Structure 1
């Protein structure tokens, strides 16, 4: 029947009895505010949202673990067949080995594969262009390895380590040593002669790079290396902990064989390759110690000086 609103599908043309008709229903709700317009980056359909998601995905993830551990700023790449092979042989903590597609298989590559499998290191095959990008254009010969950022200990942990071992502390501090090979050699000597750790400045000094790892011949995995923001402040803290601090200097008033502080808690400070100890560091040391030389014109680099000193201290403690 025409106009019969009871029929299925019929449209009721009057607002009477219909709470959604007129300004009191649908129209009123339609006029209600919906809050502030979302920012572009919060709207899933907007290009700014996709850009923000992409940036979040590419942002480096923070490392977990103790606040006392600090990592260097970024992972490092080792490029080239000989370099990667030496790194794996020397126990450098490689996290992954990358091989370019179609790379020629030779004896070095086969040994890298065997070492990686033995150490549980991931092997990844990538395009040559991708490997160029990852290594920033280095000559990689179709092979590269990625090293995670080194986790530095807190300087106070070295004192605790000596206490746990029931030994008088023996700590090596480096004053602006910039050659990573010298750093690696010092870490190796420190581990070999019973030191409890090595402390380096955060700035203007060599860090635990691939070169330092290789030179340490794996010793960096056995002895902690700590970083400090302020070397002089750290010297004061070690002195407050009961350690005597001696610095190596060519004009030191005490010759190394006559060092009577060797058997107690001791911090050895070694200066940079060219300038030696900085003035303020030298002033904060309890003693300056020299290594006797047959010829006054001769001098030892930081790595060799550390080895000689640590050997003399080890003999005195024995």
Structure 2
């Protein structure tokens, strides 16, 4: 009979009785999930859909080649490398983040650093990240570095002229390690040089590794790219600069080098092969750095250039 509360097993309350324990599974719901992610990272948000569309367009857009005054854009892949690049203030145009990525401290820091710097956040499916990184282990995080804007070798002369100083330039011959290039850029900044010249081919270029080693100085020291290094050095000679090559068997010791207080180009070769034949023949002087310790036969380009730049700065002071 309706309304008969005496009927057996009839429920008279909406309250549930005791239930079996959850075994701690609900504890996760009480834990903090960190700061609210940016709108671009929230599934379903309008900005997230726009960012995903931009990521697809950007990834499908052909990258600029290495000709002319620009290098190709570069991708830094993996959680640790991306975080380290953002910490080092390496220029970046976008951070690609995999959809439904497993958040950890590195991902959160990368998002925070990118947001603080105004770097675009692009959400993309894993298949898209696999494609743009050519299958590298990106761990759901990719940083895009814009093409580096190289100067012309003549621009370094204009840089010195603007300062009213004699040009002090470093040229690298056959140096292929970007960290050596970054170290030279840092030394040029430290000792008042006016820039670095690298060949267009078979040479280190301004990659993420070079930017990081330069410790931020690459933002203010111009790096010029020469189609032919020998011709660039000959042009400098015609402009009145002395071309000084560094060689272990050089005829002049660094202590006796009198030309460092004037307009000069310091040319450093690779640690293994040294200066190429044509570049060596183009140099006005071949200089050796005395090494009383005798434990090393040669110095790498970054260290050798730093030593000579210090001596030039000392003489000019």
**TM (normalized to structure 1)?**
0.77
- Counterpart of 1:269 in 2: which secondary structure? strand
Structure 2 distance, partners of 1:250, 1:273, is 10
> Following TM superposition, by how much is the alpha carbon of 1:153 offset from its aligned partner in structure 2, in angstroms?
0.4
> Following TM superposition, by how much is the alpha carbon of 1:292 offset from its aligned partner in structure 2, in angstroms?
0.4
**Residue segments in structure 1 that go unaligned for 5+ positions in a row:** 1-57
Given that 1:69 and 1:153 are in contact with CA atoms closer than 8 Å, whether structure 2 keeps it comes out as no
> Following TM superposition, by how much is the alpha carbon of 1:298 offset from its aligned partner in structure 2, in angstroms?
2.6
- Counterpart of 1:70 in 2: which secondary structure? coil
1:309 maps to 2:308: yes
Given that 2:186 and 2:217 are in contact with CA atoms closer than 8 Å, whether structure 1 keeps it comes out as yes
Larger of the two Rg values belongs to structure: 1
Matching of residues 126-145 of structure 1 within 5 Å: 126-145=124-143
Structure 2 distance, partners of 1:247, 1:296, is 22
Matching of residues 41-52 of structure 1 within 5 Å: none
1:297–1:87 distance in 2 versus 1, CA, 3 Å: closer
Could you tell me which residue of structure 2 aligns to residue 110 of structure 1?
108
> Following TM superposition, by how much is the alpha carbon of 1:59 offset from its aligned partner in structure 2, in angstroms?
6.4
- Counterpart of 1:151 in 2: which secondary structure? coil
Of 172, 186, 189 in structure 1, the residue corresponding to residue 187 of structure 2 is 189
Structure 2 distance, partners of 1:127, 1:101, is 5
> Following TM superposition, by how much is the alpha carbon of 1:60 offset from its aligned partner in structure 2, in angstroms?
3.8
> Following TM superposition, by how much is the alpha carbon of 1:151 offset from its aligned partner in structure 2, in angstroms?
1.1
Structure 2 distance, partners of 1:91, 1:311, is 27
1:249–1:61 distance in 2 versus 1, CA, 3 Å: closer
Could you tell me which residue of structure 2 aligns to residue 152 of structure 1?
150
> Following TM superposition, by how much is the alpha carbon of 1:272 offset from its aligned partner in structure 2, in angstroms?
1.4
1:207 maps to 2:222: no
Matching of residues 199-278 of structure 1 within 5 Å: 199-278=197-276
> Following TM superposition, by how much is the alpha carbon of 1:130 offset from its aligned partner in structure 2, in angstroms?
1.0
Structure 2 distance, partners of 1:229, 1:69, is 9
Structure 2 distance, partners of 1:206, 1:170, is 21
Structure 1 distance, partners of 2:61, 2:280, is 42
Given that 1:181 and 1:211 are in contact with CA atoms closer than 8 Å, whether structure 2 keeps it comes out as yes
Could you tell me which residue of structure 1 aligns to residue 283 of structure 2?
285
Structure 2 distance, partners of 1:143, 1:229, is 35
Structure 2 distance, partners of 1:146, 1:59, is 13
> Following TM superposition, by how much is the alpha carbon of 1:125 offset from its aligned partner in structure 2, in angstroms?
1.1
Per-residue CA deviation, residues 226-256 of structure 1 (Å, 9 max, x unaligned), is 0111111111110111111100000111111
Per-residue CA deviation, residues 103-157 of structure 1 (Å, 9 max, x unaligned), is 1222222221121111110011111111111111111111110011111101000
Per-residue CA deviation, residues 74-125 of structure 1 (Å, 9 max, x unaligned), is 2110001111111111121111001111212222222211211111100111
Could you tell me which residue of structure 1 aligns to residue 82 of structure 2?
84
**TM (normalized to structure 2)?**
0.77
**Residue segments in structure 2 that go unaligned for 5+ positions in a row:** 1-59
Detail structure 1 runs of 4+ shifted over 3 Å in the superposition.
58-63
Given that 2:169 and 2:194 are in contact with CA atoms closer than 8 Å, whether structure 1 keeps it comes out as yes
Per-residue CA deviation, residues 176-225 of structure 1 (Å, 9 max, x unaligned), is 11111111111111111111010000011111111111111221111110
